[in-house]
Structure 1
Amino acid sequence: MAAPTTTTVDLSAALVMAPVTAAQWLAILPVALCLAAGSVLMMVRHNTRIQPYIAISALGLLVIIDLLLLRHVLLNGPVTMMMGRWLPPFGIAFTVDLTGALFALTSAVVALAGAIYALGDVNTSGRRYGFYPFLLVLMAGVSGAFLTGDIFNLYVWFEVLLISSFGLLVLGSEREQIDGALKYAILNLIATTLFLISVGFLYAMFGTLNMADIAAKAGELRGTAPLMTLGALFVLAFGMKAAAFPVNFWLPASYHTPRVVVSALFAGLLTKVGIYALVRTMVMLLPVEGEALSLVVAIAASATMILGALGALAQVDIRRFLGFVVVSGIGYMLAGIAVGGESGVSAAIFYALHSIVLMTALYLVAGIAARLGGSFSLAGLSGLYGLVPAFAFLSLALFFAGSGLPPFSGFWPKALLVKASLDIGAWWLATAILVSGFVTTIAFGRVFLLAYWRPGRQQADGTVAAPAFTMAELLPVVVLTALIVWFGLFPEQLIVLSQQAAATLIEPSGYLKSVFPQGVSP
């Protein structure tokens, strides 16, 4: 006998019944776009002429989507998209707050700049072996990490960006690249394993992977679960991802090996995903444990920034020099996390956004400098100022920004970090910030004097070599430098956005309400 057909099922007990809004689609579109464009690029991998234009168009659209997403978050607060319409915390959530939207937009801008620069830097062979598909998959991972509201999926997106970064790192299959890729892979796989172990412990304690649910329940479990151990594991795993001392040696050993545009994207994006994850977990999810571990993080920050600056001063290869500058910059962001509060966290966010743009631009400048001078070595570079004065001025502006000198964007977060450190009585941390900045200034000055100001070598006929770069390579540098100068001269808006982002992390009620409109699950 057939079952009655009049039985109704209350789907509202398991599913989100409200229709999906356009704003909610914006939360997932960056990842979907990158994966779709990467798939198209794989299908046309043999047609190397059209690959760059597909990738550049997709990344241009990604910038527009991230702009719309940031605008919506600014006007309406965090937005959540539940996969499969499952109710939280059981469904996978994409939850975007101001911090995630700012990081996603800045990353999309530098990825677009890198794709344009690659028109001159990546040859036909590099395109055929997958530079542009790898780039789009990398951006899918980066975007997913910044926009996800599920901590296990944060791990998944880490894996996605790591897989694509392995492909970009070995593109060309030179001996030096294989060596750098091996060091990069081993240390990052160790960090990923630690992250996965941490997620397993977290799930055993909380019974949930939804970030909003974890943030809401952490207070109830603080007296019965070993949350300090969990926090220490997260600090170690994400510290290794971000190249913080003493687990930072993989970065200077690998970032100088791939194509310049790949190094630029790695320096701008990958370590910042580690910093973002550390901010998300230790400020929003486990704030008490983050505060308890702040002294450890502050000591690691001081060592990272000072040893990174000293390492930069000792280098004779521009790419290795910049690798240590990346490491030193991570120390400043860790210092902001260690100081805590709205002032410290906002300074860390400001510096991270600045560093994404600056480090990408610095590596692109290094590529043009090597093209002009015929070498990445300071012993072989000279006379770049006399050869192309305008390019030398662009480089000098970026060097000033990297040193934290006014009127460029690097000055403001460092000043805010010093003030925040002094406000809590951490004079030794403020001293470390100033000493590191001083040493970094000397290191950048040394590079400029040797590579740019020192008289250039003439050819046998007495002439100077003609410039050897394209407008496709110069244009991204000009645009990124303009952003650095703009936010140096007019920092108020970015300071306010960083403060608002920090406030929503410290007091995540809007984030929680976006995921649980009817209240947090019991």
Structure 2
Amino acid sequence: MTETLRPFVEALLPYMPYLIPLPVALPALAAALALLAGRHPHVQRTIALGTLLGMIALAASMVIVVDLEGIQTVQIGGWDAPIGITLVADRLSTVMLTVSAVVLFCVMWYAISQGVRDGGKDEPVAVFLPTYMLLSMGVNLSFLSGDLFNLYVGFEVFLVASYVLLTLGASPARVRAGVGYVMVNMISSMIFLFALAMVYASVGTVNMAQIGLRMDEVPSGTRAAIFATLLIAFGLKAAVFPLDAWLPDSYPTAPSLVTAVFAGLLTKVGVYSIIRMRSVVFTDGALDGLLMWVGLATMIVGILGAMAQNDMKRLLSFTLVSHIGYMIFGIALGTAQGLSGAIFYAVHHILVQTALFLVVGLIERQAGTSSLRRLGSLLYTAPVIALLYFIPAINLGGIPPFSGFLGKIILLEAGANVGGWVVWVLIAGTVITSLLTLYVMVIVWSKGFWRDRKDAPEGSIAIARPAPLADVTDEVDFRDRDDPGRIPGGMIGSTATLIAASLAVTVLAGPILSVTDRAAESAQDTGNYRTAVLGENWDNPSRSLDQQRLDDRSDVLDNRNHELPQPAPAIEEES
């Protein structure tokens, strides 16, 4: 396979400096064009779908190139690192780019099939597509950024877009949830900015490679405080315990397609940032023990919250929180095997969790509600939807041989190889959480699909009256619609495509795990990362931190002096 792809890689390699910025530039351009084409919905949709299809091809090509040729970087604006803006494409970032591109495309297809139109009560309006493309831009910038400041910029771009998407429809419940979501993420951003100030005050740079290089000279207490502050900022975005209370109240109020992309991607950007900080900057593992307990608490609290829910959106929101704990577990182990398991599980979870939220959207359209107290008989009235739910549900529950089972086995094996009583407690919590997840998925199947709807406590009123404004579900009132129960083929097709992608992770688990193994090893190889970003001469232990700061400032002054016109040389008179 490697030899087969070699000509393709060699042909593409010279163009990598131009290709790496495209995942950021293309969605930004598409957002502008879609906004200009607001009066022409078909043009808007063509631009959005074409851009995301191109993103899938581009990201997949980048995975192949960096897997065979190593880390690729580009310096924006002609300023070399660490002064300029650095975009870094390695195995980890390109794998996340590819999975996110697939999810973004499928959700966009789902949205367009649902009917993106102006003035819909509960459906996206014309601003949806431009905002969605900005969300894509922010996510891609976060994955590719080589410095903390531009990671912050990427966060803010997709968070601003998410504020708009969360409140589409402008119902009171959505506005209230949107306010809470905005406040939580503003606090997270402020903490992130404070951490940035701490980093720059300590090491004089925000470039990740150079931060990791200089952080060794920072006192251990200061280093731990900086890392803890960053973990709080990223933990809020990833919704880890005890910073997860906002998510189950915010996500279920949005339209199902918006909740799907939020659940699949936005929390994983926080997890990705934690991986970057742990593997590139704070490599001493000082807070690994804390991360293990955080991972355990996230798993247990999340799944216990899911067991207490009667609404499918809220239930899935709690399972989302719970399974973030698996990724934190893999990161906290501090080994390449554990990190590989975390990356593999993130790929699996992005696809499966997004698919489940899209299925909930299909259920709402078919039955008029997502409340388990009002659902029943879906196995007989909507067998296709039942199948679309069943496959990702048992995958999330960890039934072999699906990718959910494989990801958990990798993490359990990595934990067993590390050993220690804390790790074994975490392994036990992982197994218990997996069994409880399967129990929750079976309960949803039993209540929503298997039992007769007339046996549901509120089965007779699911369509009889419109949803109350205070309800957090996305219920549908069929009285004003002429197509009750009819689902556009594109909604089914996009959901089925995403489920097929999750099954492909199972079928191709061997090759994918090989890539995640190499991604984990590459992420932990700080020397290789620093060489790719800073150049060959970064390793000079004779230079102190203060001398490095002076040299950096001298380089900036030298670059500026070169740009100034030089005086003509004096002509010496002949004696």
Q: Are 1:69 and 2:62 matched, yes or no? A: yes
* Counterpart selection for 1:187 from 184, 189, 204: 184
From 394, 397, 400, the equivalent of 1:400 is 394
Query: Equivalent residues in 2 for 1:65-464 (5 A)?
Result: 65-125=58-118, 126=123, 128-219=125-216, 221-223=217-219, 226-288=222-284, 291-425=285-419, 426-456=423-453
Deviates more, 1:475-484 or 1:106-115: 475-484
Moved more, 67-76 or 26-35: 67-76
Q: Which amino acid aligns with 2:275?
A: V
Q: Residue type of the partner of 1:65?
A: L
SS class of match (1:22): helix
**Contact 2:73–2:88 (CA under 8 A) maintained in structure 1:** yes
Q: CA deviation at 1:222?
A: 3.7
Q: Which amino acid aligns with 1:49?
A: H
Q: Which amino acid in 2 is paired with 1:276?
A: Y
Higher mean C-alpha displacement, 313-322 vs 487-496: 487-496
- Deviation, 1:178, is 0.5
* Cα distance between partner residues in 1 of 2:220 and 2:185: 32
Which residues of structure 1 form unaligned runs of 5+?
1-19
Deviations 1:156-199 (A, max 9, x none): 11000100000101111111111111111111111111111111
Equivalent of residue 16 in structure 2, options 17, 20, 23: 23
Question: What one-letter code is carried by the residue in structure 1 that aligns with 2:179?
Answer: L
Measured after TM superposition, the shift of residue 422 of structure 1 is 2.1
Aligned residues between the structures? 496
Contact 2:202 2:218 in 1 (8 A): no
Q: How far 1:121 moved relative to its partner?
A: 3.0
CA contact (8 A) 1:34 1:139 kept: yes
Output one character per residue of 1:457-513: Cα deviation in whole Å (capped at 9) or x when no partner: 5999xxxx9742111101111111112222223311111111111101111333222
Q: Could you say what secondary structure the match of 1:406 adopts?
A: coil
Aligned counterpart, 2:528: 510
Structure 2: distance between partners of 1:413 and 1:490: 13
CA distance in 1, matches of 2:14, 2:418: 44
Q: Tell me the distance in 2 between the aligned counterparts of 1:483 and 1:127.
A: 26
3-state SS, counterpart of residue 402 of structure 2: coil
Query: Could you list the per-position Cα deviations for residues 129-151 of structure 1 after superposition, in whole angstroms to 9, with x for gaps in the alignment?
Result: 41111110000000000011111
Equivalent residue for 1:50? 43
What secondary structure, in the 3-state scheme, does the structure 1 residue paired with 2:84 have? Answer: coil
How far apart in 1 are the matches of 2:207 and 2:115?
A: 40
Task: Name whichever of 428-437 and 63-72 sits farther off.
Answer: 63-72
Name which one, 1 or 2, has greater alpha-carbon Rg: 2
Gaps of 5+ in 2: 1-12, 462-482, 540-547, 549-575
From 491, 497, 513, the equivalent of 1:495 is: 513
Q: How far did 1:21 drift? A: 4.3
Task: Determine the structure 1 residue equivalent to 2:486.
Answer: 468
TM-superposed deviation, 1:279 = 0.5
Q: Is the 8 A contact 2:374 2:460 kept in 1?
A: no
The C-alpha deviation readout for 1:293-334, integer Å capped at 9, x for no partner, is 111111111111111111111111111111101101111111
Cα distance change on mapping 1:346 and 1:151 into 2, 3 Å: same
Code of the aligned partner of 1:429: L
Q: Match for 1:218: what amino acid? A: M
Q: Tell me if the contact between 1:268 and 1:360 (Cα under 8 Å) persists in the aligned partners.
A: yes
Does the residue aligned with 1:90 lie in a helix, a strand or coil? coil
What residue number does 1:33 align with?
Answer: 26
Q: 1:292 to 1:225 in 2, by over 3 A?
A: closer
Q: 1:12 maps to which residue?
A: none
The residue type equivalent to 1:401 in the other structure is N
Indicate conservation of the 8 Å contact 1:145/1:154, yes or no. Answer: yes
User: Which residue of structure 1 lines up, in the alignment, with residue 496 of structure 2?
Assistant: 478
Deviation at 1:447, TM superposition (A): 0.3
Distance 1:156 1:485 in 2: 34
Identity of aligned residues (%): 33
Q: Deviation string for 1:32-58 (max 9, x for gaps)?
A: 000000000111112223322221111
Give the match's secondary structure for 2:21.
helix
The separation in 2 between residues aligned to 1:72 and 1:341, in whole angstroms, is 25
C-alpha contact (below 8 Å) 2:72/2:89 kept by paired residues: yes
Shift of 1:378: 0.6
| C-alpha contact (below 8 Å) 2:181/2:250 kept by paired residues | yes
